[in-house]
Structure 1
């Protein structure tokens, strides 16, 4: 009876856990922008809300705006809903979330998506401190500056969706500019290092300036000849070692051949002496017999 009671209790606990899981909210969706979260003013933007299970009603809301900001209903259950912004403007910058409805109820909210709109202020300037040609392995400092009183500057690398660095601006009395100094990790010649920067005011963190002119860092590849010279010397050393090995093998072969010839000559010499010894012994024995008689 004790064993049966234990089994029934275990099954009851498992069923209870499954019931709690089924009664919980559906899993949260995923929110994304195909063209990237940093968009130039006037561009068309499509925000996608994706789910793992089908749904017929999706809602999108923007922090600080009406809730929901947009609603989309479908006739049949689908795994994705798209919300179109025909021409993105300043008011569209911000943090977005989405959620959906199933027969079990409303889902959890998605992780926030921060949509940034650029092109509302004059572009800052971007330059490299000291020089534009650097050696592979060096750390470079980039300077983003503007006459406008930006609160912060943003540095982005070509080919990357997210900003590389965000820094508070500092006013320089010597130049009369607000600027940010961005240290860039050791650079190398195996990839391109092209950057642009933006400025924005802390009151509107999702509204950025026009992008600066692209700045490409020229990484010196002077290290390559140094890498080739050891290979050349190694090849020469290898060929010389191979020549020495061949000569040693030839010398050893000649030595073995000489030893073999000497052995043959010695064997033949000993062999030729044996008949003479037998003849001498016979003659001696014959002379002894004659003397005895």
Structure 2
């Protein structure tokens, strides 16, 4: 079927104001498929979905009844052998009763191994300290129009640059998040790529936060030492003041005792003298 996707397909009817959420679309084993390899496109809607439609470049490509895989309601569309004619952008929709969902996000399906193998290098080298800048160079012997750089990983998105035989992919300042294995591809369009380059593993050493923390720790150590010295000096001063106060009290008490003893002696002598006079 090659009928164009009608605009009203995505809209709820007047009697059904509800709008279904868009389905999820993905490819197995990956969105990059070597030429001649089988690939499956999966579309997941709500548990009540009764029909799915797959659209390729805006045109109806296939429709399926769903399969219940556990709690997931999924339709599977198979491409027996990947070619440049099956590479491109796919979307899917599902139906619940008479209501069609919104379209899924686009799935860009790429066929690889279409051209020569490029070479990939990284400068200043595959191992750099955190915070430095690096540049990947992708080169292809036969002229092309676009280059793609891809970091291995499920959530990775390819970067692209336009060029003839070589392009640069500057990157940085790098962090440990940039660690990983990279490959590049050459292409004449967004969906037909060359063989992948040999992998280049980028190792980023160190942690920029630890570099920033080092002077902070030094300042903190210096401040802590000064505070400790000031605290000790204060304690010594307090101890000296306590000793002086105690000494003053001791002298005062001794003086009072001495004065008291002298007064008693004077009174004793006065009484004795009076008795002698009588």
SS at match of 2:85: helix
CA deviation vs aligned residue, 1:76-130 (integer Å, no higher than 9, x gap): 9x73212233443433211112223333244443332111121222210111245
Shift of 1:166: 0.9
Matched, 1:259 2:245: yes
CA-atom RMSD, angstroms? Answer: 3.8
Aligned to 2:254: 268
Equivalent positions of 1:48-197 (< 5 A) are 48-52=42-46, 54-63=48-57, 68-74=60-66, 79-129=73-123, 131-159=125-153, 161-170=155-164, 178-189=165-176, 192-197=179-184
SS at match of 1:159: coil
Aligned length: 263
Structure 1 unaligned spans of 5+: 1-17, 171-177
Q: Which moved more, 1:21-30 or 1:32-41?
A: 21-30
Aligned to 1:277: 263
Structure 2 unaligned spans of 5+: 1-11
Distance 1:234 1:25, change over 3 A: closer
CA deviation vs aligned residue, 1:145-165 (integer Å, no higher than 9, x gap): 111121100011232544342
Shift of 1:40: 3.1
Q: Is the 8 A contact 2:94 2:101 kept in 1?
A: yes
Distance 1:23 1:264, change over 3 A: closer
Equivalent positions of 1:229-244 (< 5 A) are 231=217, 235=221, 238=224, 242=228
Q: Distance in 1 between matches of 2:57 and 2:204?
A: 43
Q: Is the 8 A contact 1:26 1:104 kept in 2?
A: no
Superposition TM-score, scaled by structure 2 size: 0.74
Matched, 1:201 2:195: no
Q: Distance in 1 between matches of 2:161 and 2:65?
A: 42
CA deviation vs aligned residue, 1:47-103 (integer Å, no higher than 9, x gap): 121223512222213227xx5322212599x73212233443433211112223333
Q: Is the 8 A contact 2:50 2:97 kept in 1?
A: no
Q: Is the 8 A contact 2:116 2:141 kept in 1?
A: no
Shift of 1:221: 4.2
Q: Is the 8 A contact 2:176 2:207 kept in 1?
A: no
SS at match of 2:40: strand
